[in-house]
Structures are given as C-alpha cells and as structure tokens.
A and B are shown apart, each in its own frame.
Chain A
C-alpha cells in the first residue's frame, strides 16, 4: 500500500511537470515575450538588457527550471494586458470564484442528495418521474443557456435579482467577501444555481441509482423484516451505504465546478478567475493563461490524488495485497 501511495504521488508530480512544460512553452514560444513587454519605441540595448534580465539567452532546460522555481514561489510574471504581477491579480480574483464554487457545490450536494433519495423511494410516483425527465433535459442544456434563461426570468422580467457582478463586497484582510452584505447574497443566487445545476442532476442520478441498488440488498429486507420504520431503513441503512461512490464522484466534480465557473462567470460578469481566464484568451495574455493553467492543474491533480487515496482508506479490500 505504501508503494501504491508513492507511485500515485510520483505520477501526480509527473503530470504537473508536463503541464508546467506546456505553460512554459506557451510563455516562451507563443509570440515574442520581448515584443509583448516593450512597446514600439525601443532600442537594441533595451532588447538585449531585457533578454538577459529574463534569461532568454540561457539554455532551454535552465529556463524551464527557472520558470518552475518561480512558479512554485508564486511568481508568474507580469500580465501583458494589465501590466501588474499575475500573482496579485489572481489573489484579488480568487475569493470571488471560491465563494461561488463553495455555495454551488453546497447547493448541488444537498439538493442533489435529497432529490436522489426522494426519486429512489418514490420511484413510481408522478413527481419522481417529472423530476427525472426534467433532469434529463437539464443535462443536455448548455450551461450558458440556463444562465441566460435565469437572467431573463429573474432580472429582466421580474426584476428581483441582479444580473451581473458581485454586489457590495467587504474587504477582510486580502479576502473580499460578498457573504456579509445583502446585495452580495442576492447577486450570488443566480450564478450559484447556474453553476450548481449540472452537478446537482449528476449527484441526484447517482444517488438514485445507488439507492435503488442498495434497497434490493438483503440487509435492507432484513431491516424491514425486523419491523424498523421506513425512515430508519431509508436513511440509516440505505443512504449511508450509497455515500462512498457519491463522495468520490462529488470530489472529482469539484474540479469541474471550478472549470465550468468560467462559463457562469462570463454570463454573469462575475469578477473571478474564470472571467480573468476568458479575457486572457481573448486578448492573448499569455502569462495569465499560463498561470491559470498551472493553478487549476495543481487543483485537479490534488483532487484526483486525494480521491484515489481516500478510496484506499475507505475500502479495506484495496488495502490488503490487491494493489
């Protein structure tokens, strides 16, 4: 088992090195960094000075090493478009994305599990089949259309909720939070629903199929035979045993919440990392793109690693020999 953990950690490290190489190549070969940093008026001396300063005259592998070293210390260079260090911009934008992601993950998990249990218990009821059909349509809808429909209903038509931005934010140290004001919460509702809806349907369908599987097991039948109430059978015996796959899938989905936040943030002009990334692509702001790529890879790789390792701890069968 120790070998297995070591192997997985090494694999994750390798993935990060490869992503680092991609990010570095983007920075080094897409466009000329010197062109991007110096304006039209420049002298040969300026170019030479910057070339040495940036280390562009060094061998490739040394440059790559330096790039990785800088990245580990949180130094991702200067944004071509904003002229500020990328790390500053990222720290400024991160709270918006994280707050959005946490709230939609919470919505997705709680409502997803409740609906999943409900549709499994009442599998032949009309409400359950309505929910299942709606969820099928929901899965095939593009996220941005859901966002637009919500804006149309709740902002344009009813005028209840704001359609863009974060509302008023309060600065707590370096963290800007929308959790402390009413307008912050109002602004959060539509984006959080848009972002969480897809994951919610996924979790719901997963919980439902796992529940149906578990409810057929002998120990559930035995629990019923013992005369336990339906509530105890459903929640104490059945739901608990569906949670292992649900936890792993939810864990893996956390990463895609961050990725799909790009779309949601763009629809609602939510000033987070996703909007930053999409603007960086539009204006070919390579340092920002590279930094975002590295950041999100670290996140994805860590989540995958943790989920894999959790498996080993949760499931005793994997611990002995097997691997």
Chain B
C-alpha cells in the first residue's frame, strides 16, 4: 500500500465505499462542510479578514464597542460582527483566533501521535522491562484527567522559562502540554496491535532474513497498526481543540497578544454584563461549531472505519 502512486491511491479511495457511505449520512456531510469552511477561513484569514486586528496602525479606538451592522457614532464605519473595546473588528479576530486554535489543535495531536505511536511500537515489539516502564508511566498518567496534566505541564514550563519569553513561547508550550497529556491513548492502541502483528509470519520472515529491528518496526509493523490510529486522531483533535480553548479561557494558554478562540471568549466574558454581547457571542458560536462538527465527524469516522460496530 505504501508503494502506490498518488493517482492509484486516489482511485482506491474513489472505488471504496467510503464516499458512498459519506453520501448517505447528512450529519457527516454537514459536519465536513462546516469543518472545511472553518479551516479554509482560518488558513486564508490574512486575505479574507476585512482588517488586520494586530496591526495597531489600522486600529482606531474611536471604533470601540460598535455593535454588529450599525454605524459607529464617531467614524461612521460599519462592522459585520461589531468591534471590541479596542476597536478591533470581531470577525477578523475570530478568523485569526481560529488559526491559533486549529494550529494548536493539529500540532498537539500530531505531537501526541508521533510520541504515542513510537512508544507504543517500542513497548509492544521489544516487550520486557521497556514495555513495563512505558506502560506503567501510561497507567500513572491515565489516573489523572488529561486537562489537569496539561495545566500542570503548562504551569511548570511557565515557571522554568524567563518571564520575557513566556508570552512568545506560550503557543508552543500549549502544544507540548496538550500533546503530552494525550499520547497514552495512541500508545495503548498501537501497543495492542503490535502485540498481535509481531507474531505474524511476515514479521518472522523479516527477522529471518536479518532485517534490523528498527526497520522491521518502521517498515513492516507500523503500516499494519495505523488504521485504528486515524480514528483516535480525529476524536483527539476535537478534544485537543476543546482543551486548548479551555486552557486559554482559564488564562493559562494563548496570551492576549496571540488570542485563540478561548482567549477571545475570556475577553468577551468581561463585557457580558455591560451589554456588549457580540464580543462574547460570536467567538463562542465559532468554537461551538468547530468542536461539535469535528466531534460528529470523528464519531461518524469511527462507526464507518470500524466494521465491528456497523
């Protein structure tokens, strides 16, 4: 499967019943549509967004607190979703904020995947004390809710770093913290699959012709244990996006200089009582749409790719 050219692979996907199943599920189509739309909006934010919210030259404090679709009393400008206290266009901050939310989400799942797959593969294939140590660590970590682990890692990293780097590095710390809090699932699944695969004939054949252990693990076993990983990754993505939003909302994530959706909601919460509802509502709705559609897509993918549940 790894030696196919791109057109051959596309052909395989088109001929499988994957698309047919997709066409039969309105919920999945809708979720896919929403996710695609949001991801496109985030990727092309610099071109789509009407303003650059972090270019202080284009900001006008007089535009502050303009309600959606009304004219500002002083400048007469209009904003589709209104502006915040600084006069920033809410639509633009959302588009830019989504970039950060999605980037942290994807990057931390990728990090968790690489870490979890490697450790799971090593633990499953080598066995013995390596296996015991890795899985014990996994067990200990599994005792604690992952959001707590992420908070703790974030807190420690914050303490270790000099104060002037904290805001700059916050995004990367966030990725590592969420990634480290989520690798266990990948490791467990991959280890379980590896334990089954390593007794197959093809592995024995590879061992007999003297292939080195890393090559056997990487080239022979890995491709055969990957399919369940895909499903976990989608569900992890939804969880990672929510985790990032939660941490940023609590003030231990993306800083106000690089706000994610969670940070925007944190900022908006402050204006809830004074009547500027749009500063809170629109970022919250965006997060809601993102989390919900990724979640539904993950559920659908799990049911589709896992024939036992069909």
Complex interface residues of chain A between 258 and 284 (CB less than 8 A to chain B):
259-260, 262-263, 266, 277-278, 280-282, 284
B245 touches A142 (CB 8 A): yes
Residues of A within 8 A of B (CB): 15, 18-19, 26, 30-31, 137, 139-145, 148, 151-152, 156, 163, 255-256, 259-260, 262-263, 266, 277-278, 280-282, 284, 286, 289, 293, 296-297, 300-301, 304
Query: Is B45 part of the contact surface with A, judged by Cβ < 8 Å?
Result: no
A263 touches B154 (CB 8 A): no
What are 20 A-B pairs at a CB distance below 8 A? A26-B156, A26-B159, A140-B238, A140-B292, A141-B288, A141-B292, A142-B245, A142-B246, A142-B287, A145-B284, A145-B287, A156-B273, A259-B148, A262-B250, A266-B250, A278-B251, A278-B252, A281-B252, A282-B252, A297-B143
B-chain residues with CB within 8 Å of residue A297 when the two chains form the complex: 143-144
A-chain residues with CB within 8 Å of residue B160 when the two chains form the complex: 30-31
Known interface pairs A145-B288, A304-B143. Does A278 touch B156 (Cβ–Cβ under 8 Å)? no
Least CB separation from A148: chain B residue: B269
Q: Select one of B144, B151, B269, B296 contacting A278, CB under 8 A.
A: B151
B-chain residues with CB within 8 Å of residue A280 when the two chains form the complex: 155
B-chain residues with CB within 8 Å of residue A145 when the two chains form the complex: 265, 284, 287-288
Give per-residue flags for B132-146: 1 if the beta carbon is below 8 A from chain A beta carbons, else 0.
000000001001110
Q: Select one of B238, B252, B272 contacting A151, CB under 8 A.
A: B272
Query: Is B158 part of the contact surface with A, judged by Cβ < 8 Å?
Result: yes
Query: Is B280 part of the contact surface with A, judged by Cβ < 8 Å?
Result: yes
Least CB separation from B154: chain A residue: A281
A-chain residues with CB within 8 Å of residue B287 when the two chains form the complex: 142, 145
B151 touches A262 (CB 8 A): yes
B251 touches A289 (CB 8 A): no
A148 touches B265 (CB 8 A): yes
Query: Is B242 part of the contact surface with A, judged by Cβ < 8 Å?
Result: yes
CA distance A232 to B48 in the complex (A): 63
B-chain residues with CB within 8 Å of residue A18 when the two chains form the complex: 140
B-chain residues with CB within 8 Å of residue A260 when the two chains form the complex: 145, 147
Residues of B within 8 A of A (CB): 140, 143-145, 147-148, 151-152, 154-156, 158-160, 238, 242, 245-246, 249-252, 265, 269, 272-273, 280, 284, 287-288, 291-292, 295-296
Since A262-B148, A263-B147, A266-B250 are in contact, a sample of 17 more A-B pairs with Cβ atoms closer than 8 Å, ordered by chain A residue number, is A26-B156, A140-B238, A140-B242, A140-B291, A144-B265, A145-B265, A145-B284, A148-B272, A148-B280, A255-B145, A259-B148, A278-B151, A278-B250, A278-B251, A289-B155, A296-B148, A297-B144
A-chain residues with CB within 8 Å of residue B152 when the two chains form the complex: 289, 293
B272 touches A152 (CB 8 A): yes
B-chain residues with CB within 8 Å of residue A148 when the two chains form the complex: 265, 269, 272, 280, 284
CA distance A137 to B147 in the complex (A): 20
Least CB separation from A137: chain B residue: B292
Secondary structure of the B side of the interface?
Answer: helix
B145 touches A30 (CB 8 A): no
Q: Select one of B143, B155, B159, B250 contacting A263, CB under 8 A.
A: B250
CA distance A68 to B229 in the complex (A): 40
Shortest distance between the CB of A205 and any CB in chain B (Å):
13
CA distance A30 to B252 in the complex (A): 17
CA distance A26 to B155 in the complex (A): 10
CA distance A219 to B80 in the complex (A): 63
Known interface pairs A141-B288, A144-B246. Does A156 touch B272 (Cβ–Cβ under 8 Å)? yes
Across the A-B interface, the 6 shortest Cβ-Cβ residue pairs: A30-B159, A281-B155, A140-B295, A259-B145, A284-B159, A142-B242
Q: Select one of A143, A282, A286, A300 contacting B251, CB under 8 A.
A: A282
Q: Select one of A139, A141, A256, A301 contacting B145, CB under 8 A.
A: A256
B-chain residues with CB within 8 Å of residue A163 when the two chains form the complex: 273
CA distance A144 to B159 in the complex (A): 25
CA distance A31 to B159 in the complex (A): 6
Specify which of A280, A284, A304 lies most central, judged by the most chain B CB atoms within 10 Å of its CB. Answer: A284
A286 touches B145 (CB 8 A): no
Shortest distance between the CB of A251 and any CB in chain B (Å):
13
Shortest distance between the CB of A15 and any CB in chain B (Å):
5
A-chain residues with CB within 8 Å of residue B249 when the two chains form the complex: 142, 144, 266
B252 touches A259 (CB 8 A): no
A300 touches B143 (CB 8 A): yes
A-chain residues with CB within 8 Å of residue B250 when the two chains form the complex: 144, 262-263, 266, 278
B-chain residues with CB within 8 Å of residue A266 when the two chains form the complex: 249-250
Least CB separation from B249: chain A residue: A144
Least CB separation from A280: chain B residue: B155
B-chain residues with CB within 8 Å of residue A282 when the two chains form the complex: 251-252
Least CB separation from A23: chain B residue: B152
A259 touches B284 (CB 8 A): no
Shortest distance between the CB of A300 and any CB in chain B (Å):
5
CA distance A26 to B151 in the complex (A): 14
A-chain residues with CB within 8 Å of residue B156 when the two chains form the complex: 26, 30
A-chain residues with CB within 8 Å of residue B251 when the two chains form the complex: 278, 282
CA distance A151 to B269 in the complex (A): 10
